[in-house]
Structure 1
Amino acid sequence: MAILSSLRRDTLKRIIHAFQIRGIDIQNKKKMCEALCDLPGVSAKIILPYLSDAKVQAICKSCGISGKGCREELMELLLQEESRGAGNSFRDNVFSDKGIPLKNRLHPARPESVSLVQPKLANSPDANNCFVAIDFETADYGPDSACSVALVRVLNNRIIDKVHFLIRPPRRTFVFTYLHGISWKHVANEPTFGELWPHITEKLAGAEFIAAHNAAFDRSVFMACCQTAALPPPVLPFQCTVRLARKTWNLRHANLPSVCTYLGIPLKHHDAVSDAEACAGIVIASRLHMNS
């Protein structure tokens, strides 16, 4: 919320327009911030590119991160901090254009609205049922801007299939190329999400749940892409491996690189296939740990 409240009114108006939010008093900055904060899919990854260099540095300082380095490096550090403290947010007591007070620190936020499936013990009847780990990469601020998706299918605690698709998003705007390396030229001739839908649903067939690291983000992208393509989303529940890692190993830092380092899982972060495969590995490792 503090990130949103640090933005100017005209910037907030642009974000609200991008998310096609209706019925908001655009003259009331607090109302605009609250509407965006309550919207599924709005995260630091989406909001940070709107901030000035000075405000990115101020947020870094408020989180105890050194403000030195280029804008892209600082934004990546903040995204890591968000993942490390998934389920946390900035204090929401600022509604001015003066920036974010440096005294603000992270604190627990409202629980994410993600359906969770608790890991089952290996000796239970359906302990090894099929699940699919998923990872989306997005192009711009909108959750419907998926430009890459990977699905990794697991059965009997073994990866049996993995697939990756590049997706042509509904807009040419690419903001997060610096994270995943994908730009419009890479996807201009690729299918849309709607055109890929039969292939995606094929990979989800028979799965018990979908696993994702910071599942609220991937779930919101999935739902937004389905909505834009006028498709009914699957009713499969999501399991968040951030929460799973915290519960299983009591990890303080549960962003994907940290969990992978702890478990010895290879990772090329922001590569959809690598991220999804690592997510699958976390679920498998948790199951094995619970049975050890």
Structure 2
Amino acid sequence: MPVDFTAIDFETANSSGASACSVGLVKVRDGQVVDRVHWYIRPPFPHDEFSEWNVRIHGITPEMVEGAPDWRTHLPALREFAGADVLVAHNATFDLGVIAKTSAAWGLEVPDYRSLCSLQVARRTYHLDSYRLPVAAMAAGFEGFSHHDALADAEACAAIIVHAAERHGADDVERLAHITRVKLGSIGPVAVATDRAANGPMALQ
């Protein structure tokens, strides 16, 4: 089944969407994971303070990112890794927002990407008491991973989309979005304009 996409997950230093401190990326081709990468990111001032709450959740400290490249290095690397793929994330609005806000904080042009939310796909695929990533991933047969590790979370997200595509008989992520009636998101001036022109208010009618 030719299901191709890149799954992505960010961890942030604090509540600011511009405070990305870690990202995991998982490339899927024909429904199989073919590549994965993880980077620590040095957040930009004034978004670089690590809150106690966030550190408690993901375990990343200021010392761990002190010598890491910042987003000016990581954005081109992300573009090279993901290419023109749809980016898949669990609560994609958050993760795509991190890309947009961190790019803006550095004065960089927001890249053009479409996105699919695995949280919303899971809601239209499984009958669960909770659709948190560990629970939805377990329904997809992916369990025992380290939640809030960016790479592990991206792999879990990828597993949900691959399993959902198989369950719905979808041969690509666009078809999966159509079947589950989950609207593809977009960031970046070209992607947003294209999305509005192609879909409009009647996109899911």
Superposition RMSD on alpha carbons, in Å? 1.5
Alignment of 1:233-252 (within 5 A): 233-252=110-129
Identify the residue that residue 151 of structure 2 maps to in structure 1: 273
Q: Could you give the per-residue CA deviations for residues 84-112 of structure 1, whole angstroms, max 9, x where no partner exists? A: xxxxxxxxxxxxxxxxxxxxxxxxxxxxx
Identify the residue that residue 4 of structure 2 maps to in structure 1: 130
Query: Match of 2:110, as an amino acid?
Result: P
Match status 1:195 vs 2:73: yes
Deviation (angstroms), 1:129:
4.7
| Unpaired runs of at least 5, structure 2 | 171-205
User: Which structure exhibits the higher relative contact order, with contacts defined as CA atoms closer than 8 Å and separated by 6 or more residues?
Assistant: 2
Aligned partners of 1:242 and 1:196: how far apart in 2? 25
Aligned 8 A contact 1:246 1:252 in 2: no
Aligned partners of 1:197 and 1:210: how far apart in 2? 14
Match status 1:178 vs 2:56: yes
Percent identity of the aligned residues? 36
Identify the residue that residue 212 of structure 1 maps to in structure 2: 89
Q: Could you give the per-residue CA deviations for residues 27-49 of structure 1, whole angstroms, max 9, x where no partner exists? A: xxxxxxxxxxxxxxxxxxxxxxx
Aligned partners of 1:218 and 1:242: how far apart in 2? 12
Aligned 8 A contact 2:126 2:139 in 1: no
Given the two structures, how large is their TM-score scaled by the length of structure 1? Answer: 0.54
Aligned 8 A contact 1:138 1:146 in 2: yes
Q: Could you give the per-residue CA deviations for residues 243-274 of structure 1, whole angstroms, max 9, x where no partner exists? A: 10111123341110111222231321000000
Q: Given the alignment, which residue of 91, 101, 105 partners 1:224?
A: 101
Identify the residue that residue 19 of structure 2 maps to in structure 1: 145
Query: Match of 2:44, as an amino acid?
Result: P
SS of 2:38 mapped into structure 1: strand
Given the two structures, how large is their TM-score scaled by the length of structure 2? Answer: 0.76
Aligned 8 A contact 2:3 2:162 in 1: no
Q: Could you give the per-residue CA deviations for residues 45-64 of structure 1, whole angstroms, max 9, x where no partner exists? A: xxxxxxxxxxxxxxxxxxxx
Aligned partners of 1:192 and 1:271: how far apart in 2? 19
Identify the residue that residue 36 of structure 2 maps to in structure 1: 162
SS of 1:248 mapped into structure 2: coil
SS of 1:201 mapped into structure 2: helix
Aligned partners of 1:233 and 1:133: how far apart in 2? 18
Aligned partners of 1:159 and 1:233: how far apart in 2? 27
Deviation (angstroms), 1:196:
1.5
Deviation (angstroms), 1:199:
1.0
